[in-house]
Amino acid sequence: MLGIIMAGGQGTRLMPLTSTRPKPMVEVLGRPVIDFVKDAMVEAGIDEIVVTTGYRGEQLEDHVATWNTREGFRAWVNQESTPMGTAGSVGLLRDRIHGTCVVGSGDAIASFDINALLKVHRANKAKVTMALWQVDDPSEFGIVGLGARIDGEVDGQLRQGFIRRFQEKPPREDAFSNVINAGLYILEPEVFNHIPVGEKFDFSKQLFPTLLKMGWPLFASTIDGVWFDVGQPAELLKAQQTLLEHHQELPFQLPTNHEVRAGSMVSIHATIKGVVDRSVVSQGCVIEGGANVVESMLMEGVVIGQGSTVVRSVLGKNVQIPPGCTVEDCVVGDDEHLAGNGVFIGQKIP
């Protein structure tokens, strides 16, 4: 079976981290985000994965090449020459799609059970099956209304059923559902006949509403576990903390040493809040005496000088924080060297 991972986004809300890498290559617990959906596809027995790329696609091409270590498995990339939208980018592969395929987003972390989704997809003779996630506040998302039958009324209590309605970011009092598109789809090949050739086209805003109006059977099922769209630094930190706290009950491959990776040097006089506040120190970091790290993510090669404090921040690769600095609620891009004794609060650097 063919799996397709959409990875063409730039991730502007994650700047400056994404000034040097595409959004799916941003790391959580030392792993690029795209690896989480790849693992779900491999677990489901998918033997070929295509990654659709755009912004800084050469990094994804190099990374995807490292997946080809298992006999009988193939992974490769398809580079867009111009942004084509979610459905448009996948539509470029229509000539290679001859059976049921799985399409997932490369910039989300979720506990997808693809085999379970395939089972309900086939049982309900669906043309599309969508993974859903339940949220507390539906006003921030595009919501999905489900019915017990293909022509049934919307029932806001259903967590699995036929898709009957879509609505984008409704006022909370008008929301008919609190389940949202989780960014993974099971698709039949005839679906691709309705993606225009050579046009920018979107799955959730254009293709799926069109198929719904045509009366096609679109099914959906809510996933359990976790779901994060890591589009903002706060979501990166939240994903990191949740995965660390619940790693034993989640289907993810995580490093065995979660809080401090091998090859890092941490002074015995430094403080890292890791067990409760869930900071992560990646490989090759140096944290000097008197430094404090709280609820933060330190990517490879970060140096934190003596007496500095880093709180709720994401530091890119090879960032240097000199002695006596305070860094709070910041995102610092790769290779940045901050000024000594500075106070940086709520900034994106550069």
Beta carbons of 63 and 55 less than 8 angstroms apart: no
Q: Given this model, what pLDDT does residue 277 score?
A: 56
Give the Cα separation of 31 and 247 in Å (integer).
14
Question: Phi and psi of 279, rounded to 5°?
Answer: -85, 155
Give the Cα separation of 284 and 317 in Å (integer).
10
- What pTM did the predictor assign? 0.92
Q: Given this model, what pLDDT does residue 261 score?
A: 60
| Residue type for position 97 | I
Q: What does the block give as tokens for 326? A: 């305070």
The full set of domains in the chain, from first to last, is: 2-246 (3.90.550.10), 265-349 (2.160.10.10)
Beta carbons of 51 and 13 less than 8 angstroms apart: no
Q: What is the pLDDT along the chain (350 residues), one digit of tens a residue?
A: 999 999 998 889 999 999 999 999 999 988 899 999 999 999 999 999 999 999 999 999 999 999 998 888 999 999 998 889 999 999 999 999 999 999 999 999 999 999 999 999 999 999 999 999 999 999 989 899 999 999 999 999 999 999 999 998 899 899 999 999 999 999 999 999 999 998 999 999 999 999 999 999 999 999 999 999 998 999 999 998 888 877 777 777 665 444 566 567 887 777 887 544 578 888 899 999 999 999 899 999 999 999 999 999 999 999 999 999 999 999 999 999 999 899 999 999 99
Beta carbons of 60 and 7 less than 8 angstroms apart: yes
Beta carbons of 190 and 127 less than 8 angstroms apart: yes
Nearest to 190 by CA among 214, 222, 162, 156: 214
Give the Cα separation of 129 and 84 in Å (integer).
22
Q: Given this model, what pLDDT does residue 260 score?
A: 61
Helical (H) or strand (E) element with 131: strand 128-134
Angle formed at CA 14 by CA 260 and CA 221, multiple of 5 degrees: 85
Length of the chain: 350
Q: What is the four-CA torsion angle of 100, 113, 39, 246, rounded to 10 degrees?
A: 170
State how far the alpha carbon of 126 is from the alpha carbons of 139, 145, 147, in Å. Answer: 28, 16, 14
